[in-house]
Amino acid sequence: MIARQMLCRCRRITIACCMALLIFPALASAQSFTHVHLRTPDPAAAAEWYHRLLGGTLRPAAGGMGAVTQIHGSIATMFDPSIAEPSAGSVIDHFGFAVDDVAAMVAKAQIMGAQVELPPHPGTVANAIAMIQDPWGTRIELLEDPEFVGLQHVHLVAERADALRDWLLTIFGGTYDPELGGTELHAIRYDGIWVYLSESPDGVTAPSRGRSLDHMGFSVTDMNEIVRRIEASGYHPYEIRPNRPGGTTLLMFFEGANGIHFEIAEPGGA
């Protein structure tokens, strides 16, 4: 229900973002969203599955990792010897993807082994929306919208969603839209995608680390500043390293508010 109502408002993005920039000018300089990262026993096969389903550019699998580059970010996969717990019930509940034809995409996904949680149905603005689950447990919301393609949002579910919203804005900036979500969810714009936040129905969610939708990624220009903000908010990185031996990208990993797992990259920072 929440997903249905929030996606119905997508065509108000331009006006709403202008309002948010006027109301929250200090938050206009957002960090860049880069990817969602999924756990699977076969990263190469999972990346190929997403490529066949949603298109994009399939990158060669290497080092137990796979990835499909999409508009507004990548869908990345990593090796997990077992089937991870599903994204449902985690603080990172699902990600949203905009397509040309939701009904056709759902039918294709079923043939490819996806589970349909919510079949295609009309939206007020979007022509149709649906919710599916991939063969490894990650929920994907499909949105039919001629004005948007590719990765559309990441949806977080937590107790005190307003507090989590404030924490995200403090750490990563972003363009907060106080109108888009109404009273049911919070919406923060990061470059081409949205991060939506809504209240957990029972007030309980699990940390995302180790779940099928393990973490989300951002690219930053100043790792030291981001680390400073994170530590000032009471959290600490558990790993900082180059992306690979001899690599020039600096990576940092941490678990933040409500157990959200993050990967942060600074190109050229290693």
Query: CB of 218 within 8 A of CB of 251?
Result: no
- pLDDT reading at 183 higher than 80: no
What gap in Å lies between CA 184 and CA 101, rounded to an integer? 27
- pLDDT reading at 202 higher than 90: no
* Closest C-alpha among 189, 207, 93, 96 to residue 141: 96
Across the range 139-145, mean pLDDT stands at 93
Helix (H, G, I), strand (E, B) or coil at 194: strand
Q: Can you give the residue ranges of every domain in the chain? A: 2-208
Burial 201-212 (b: 16+ CB within 10 A, else e): eeeebbbbbebb
* Lookup result for tokens 């363009």: 175
Across the range 109-121, mean pLDDT stands at 97
- pLDDT confidence bin for 123, thresholds 50/70/90: low
| pLDDT, tens only, 38-49 | 999 999 999 999
What gap in Å lies between CA 82 and CA 61, rounded to an integer? 19
Topology (CATH) of 2-208: 2,3-Dihydroxybiphenyl 1,2-Dioxygenase; domain 1 (3.10.180)
What gap in Å lies between CA 224 and CA 1, rounded to an integer? 40
Q: What is the pLDDT of residue 223?
A: 96
What gap in Å lies between CA 253 and CA 78, rounded to an integer? 15
pTM: 0.88
- pLDDT reading at 247 higher than 90: yes
- pLDDT confidence bin for 124, thresholds 50/70/90: low
Name, in order, each residue with C-beta under 8 angstroms of 102's C-beta and a sequence gap of 6 or more: 120, 127, 128, 129, 130, 142, 143, 144
| pLDDT, tens only, 67-100 | 999 999 999 999 999 999 999 999 999 999 999 9
* Tokens found for residue 91: 């603080």
- pLDDT confidence bin for 5, thresholds 50/70/90: very low
- Give me the phi and psi of 125, to 5 degrees please: -110, -50
What gap in Å lies between CA 254 and CA 165, rounded to an integer? 18
